[in-house]
């Protein structure tokens, strides 16, 4: 249940923040929030970091495949542990959030501007999900396995 709740929250927050930006900031407009951070309305037709401009719709296919794979692993009980499930939910939620934009608009709304590129909530959810999956698989699982073998 935690997986689906987190997935829903991420997709909802991503879409509601993008909707707010599209309705409240003109394309290219910035809104200073605090020193070093502002909201800047940008439409990205590529991938994160503005790479592969014009090819954004092609990223829908891998996003769908990733989400299907994660749901399959979850159903088969292969995602064990809170950190791994949370990471998978973040990753899938971010992929869904950006895929929705690509499907509906042919581009992704970015707005989080820290001065070194503009991103969105889904991008950060994907990054956080990836980090949590790495922590689970490269640190926590080996520790659990080591503990089991010493008992």
pLDDT at 69 over 90: yes
Percent of the chain residues topping a pLDDT of 70: 93
For residue 42, the cross-strand partners are 110
Residue 134 falls within a domain, yes or no?
A: yes
Active site residue 113: no
Count of Cβ atoms closer than 10 Å to residue 4 Cβ: 14
Provide the total of helices (H) and of strands (E) in the chain, helices listed first. 5, 4
On whether the pTM is more than 0.85, the answer is: yes
Give the residue among 64, 70, 46 at the shortest CA–CA distance from 130.
70
Number of folded domains in the chain?
1
CA 39/CA 60 separation, integer angstroms: 25
Residue 74 in contact with residue 88, Cβ under 8 Å? Answer: yes
pLDDT at 149 over 80: no
Residue 18 in contact with residue 120, Cβ under 8 Å? Answer: yes
Catalytic one among 14, 101, 113, 123? 123
Active site residue 101: no
pLDDT at residue number 19: 98
Catalytic one among 14, 101, 110, 113? 110
Chain segment 90-146, per-residue pLDDT in tens: 999 999 999 999 999 999 999 999 988 899 999 999 999 999 999 999 988 887 777
What does pLDDT average to over the chain? 91
Cα angle vertex 97, ends 92, 103, to 5°?
115
pLDDT at 50 over 70: no
Residue 149 falls within a domain, yes or no?
A: no
Range of the domain at 17: 2-144
Residue 151 falls within a domain, yes or no?
A: no
The helix or strand, by DSSP H or E, that contains position 58, with its residue range, turns out to be none
Residue 89 in contact with residue 6, Cβ under 8 Å? Answer: yes
pLDDT at residue number 47: 72
Average pLDDT over residues 65-86: 94
CA 114/CA 40 separation, integer angstroms: 10
pLDDT at 56 over 80: no
The helix or strand, by DSSP H or E, that contains position 108, with its residue range, turns out to be strand 108-113
Residue 150 falls within a domain, yes or no?
A: no
Task: Compute φ and ψ for 29, nearest 5 degrees.
Answer: -75, 140
Strand ranges in 27-93 using DSSP code E only, listed in sequence order? 30-34, 37-44
């Amino acid at each position: 249940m935690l997986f689906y709740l987190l997935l829903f929250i991420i997709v909802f927050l991503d879409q509601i923040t993008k909707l707010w930006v599209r309705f409240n900031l003109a394309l290219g407009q910035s809104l200073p929030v605090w020193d070093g951070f502002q909201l800047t309305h940008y439409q990205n037709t590529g991938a994160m970091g503005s790479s592969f401009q014009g090819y954004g719709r092609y990223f829908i296919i891998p996003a769908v495949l990733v989400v299907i794979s994660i749901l399959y692993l979850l159903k088969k009980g292969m995602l064990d542990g809170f950190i791994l499930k949370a990471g998978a939910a973040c990753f899938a939620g971010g992929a869904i959030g950006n895929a929705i934009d690509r499907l509906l608009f042919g581009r992704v709304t970015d707005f989080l501007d820290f001065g070194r590129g503009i991103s969105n909530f889904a991008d950060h959810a994907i990054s956080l999900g990836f980090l949590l999956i790495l922590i689970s698989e490269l640190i926590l699982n080996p520790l659990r396995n080591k503990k089991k073998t010493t008992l």
